[in-house]
Structure 1
Amino acid sequence: MKFKLLLLLELVIVRQTNALTPNELNQITFEQKIGQQISRDLAFRDSDGGRFQFRVNSGAKPTLLVLGYFHCPMLCTFINNGLIAAMQELRLDVGRDFNVVDLSVDPRETSELAAKRKAEYVKLYGRRGAALGWHCLTGDETSIQKIASETGFHFAYDPQSNEYAHPSGVIVLTADGTISRYFFGVNFSPDELRQAIVAAGKNENGSV
């Protein structure tokens, strides 16, 4: 089953990146930067059109950060659905115990599209109060590239397909924006996710 899923993901990437060279494709990966603090004063747009800064809007809670884009035809849906499935197994709640941030790497995307995706994710998650702690963000290219660099998220734009090739996974941040752990792929262990959230809530390294 895992082999079939990996093969499917490879086919998704190849299908969406026809114009990228093999060298460019090889660079599409996560570079782990455990202990790196992201720039918390960068300004993004929340799904309601308001200003979002990690320093202001994350509160004193850990954050699960997902980088991708909202018109992504397949992979981003796999990632978010896998994350939601894992979170549904937890006694911890989005909005009460931790935040979720979906950040688009496409500077052309709008708050309206972000709001549509947020509504879908919150509905699928199905727990009261989740909307308060779930943020779907858009931003300018400078801020996006800064966060991507700080988190080791290497991606590329393919003008032929008008899509982005990017790695799949989730980044766990402490309340002060320090990278505590990475989860890779599209399926996530609920128990390991819980441990990582708890560790990040204590400002600890959540890696195993």
Structure 2
Amino acid sequence: DTTRATGRALPDRARPGRPAVNAWLTAFSLLAALPAMAFARPAFDPEIGAQLSLDRVFRDASGEQRTIGQMLAGRPALLIFGYDKCPNLCGVTQQAVASDLKKTSLDPDTYRALFVSIDAADTPEDAGDAQATVAAAADARNLSAWRFLTSADGAGGALAAEAGISFDTRARIDQFAHPIAVIALTPKGRIAQVLPALSFTPRDLELALVEASSGRLGSIADHVFLLCAGFDASKGRYTPAIWAALKLASIVMVVGLATAILLARGRRA
């Protein structure tokens, strides 16, 4: 203790002052918060049944302006949010959906596949480039169902927010951090189902559109399957409820047998 050793108190300028301590604490708090800030994830909370605005105006790859309602025109749709210059999963998801839709029995004239850009800087030319890339995974007939939409006024981001999806701008690397999924829309723009990106099958996409159409699309087999099927949100797939019931029944049977054996042993004792 310097005070005891010298018999004198330290001058004020030699003591660690409170402002300095506060400054260190503030710096430490900021450093501690950096990992959380760096790894903060955008929101992803789509709600089944949520109504999306049908009057937002977008431009397609040809530059033509239309509202979402006009593009749906009474059809169900698969909706994907992303941006045209994305170097990551956006293009991969587009091609996977296009390739899988080609394997379904649905007529592409009866549904829409909408890719909505959340980047206000994306142009119809960028949308055209994205469309040309998807064309490699879908033949001309199936490509006719697709619309690649841009908006300079932020309509894409606003529509994503209505769907429960947010995104973060990474200005330093000129990219967006955002969740990606395939959302099935009813003809009136309500969310009918949500399929996690890249975990779906052609059958999942077909059933999602059939379900969103309220019975207007699909074969008799599709509707019979939907009657005895449930959607497993943890896997992003349609799973027959019969299988789930059989699994539950088997579990109940095992528990019942184990209980009977324990009771029988208890009586013998």
Q: Say whether the fold is shared (TM-score over 0.5).
A: yes
Specify every segment of 5 or more residues in structure 1 that has no aligned partner in the other structure, as ranges. 1-19
Find the aligned partners of 1:174 and 1:62 in 2 and give their Cα distance.
Answer: 5
Distance in 2, matches of 1:21 and 1:105, equals: 26
**Counterpart pick for 1:47 among 30, 38, 61:** 61
What secondary structure sits across from 2:130 in the alignment?
helix
Check conservation: 1:47, 1:114, Cα contact below 8 A: yes
State the Cα distance separating 1:57 from its structure 2 match.
Answer: 1.9
- Tell me, in whole angstroms, the C-alpha distance in 2 between the residues paired with 1:130 and 1:117: 12
Question: Match of 2:147?
Answer: 135
Paired residues, what number? 186
TM-score by length of 1: 0.81
For residues 16-74 of structure 1, the C-alpha deviation after alignment (integer angstroms, 9 at most, x for no partner) is: xxxx9634644324212110111100111111111021111211110111100111012
Q: Which has the larger Rg? A: 2
What do you get for the CA RMSD once the two structures are aligned?
A: 2.2
Equivalent of 2:138 in 95, 107, 125: 125
Asked whether the equivalents of residues 43 and 139 of structure 1 are also in contact (C-alpha less than 8 Å), the reply is yes
**Higher RCO (CA 8 Å, separation ≥ 6 residues):** 1
Q: How does 1:151-162 map to 2 (within 5 A)?
A: 151-162=163-174
Amino acid at match of 1:100: A
- Aligned residue among 189, 193, 197 for 2:205: 193
TM-score, normalised via structure 2 length = 0.64
- How far did 1:87 drift? 1.1
Which residue number corresponds to residue 98 of structure 2? 84
CA distance in 1, matches of 2:36, 2:138: 37
1:127 CA displacement = 4.3
Percent identity of equivalent pairs:
27
Instruction: Tell me if 1:172 matches 2:168.
Output: no
- Cα shift at 1:85: 2.7
For 2:59, the aligned partner's letter is R
Structure 2: gaps (5+ residues):
1-33, 217-225, 232-269
Deviation readout 1:81-121 (Å, 9 max, x if unpaired): 22123212201133x12101111111001101101211221
SS at match of 2:157: helix
Does 2:40 correspond to 1:33? no
- Deviation of 1:153 after TM superposition, in Å, equals 1.3
**Distance in structure 1 (CA, Å) of the matches to 2:215 and 2:162:** 18
3-state secondary structure, aligned to 1:181? strand
Counterpart Cα distance in 2 of 1:77 and 1:91:
24
**Matches of 1:169 and 1:25, distance apart in 2:** 20
In the aligned structure 2, how far is the partner of 1:143 from the partner of 1:77?
A: 21
Provide the C-alpha distance between the structure 2 equivalents of 1:21 and 1:64, rounded to a whole number of angstroms. Answer: 35
Residue of structure 1 in register with 2:86 after alignment: 72
Task: Please tell me whether the aligned partners of residues 103 and 138 of structure 1 are also in contact (alpha carbons under 8 angstroms).
Answer: yes
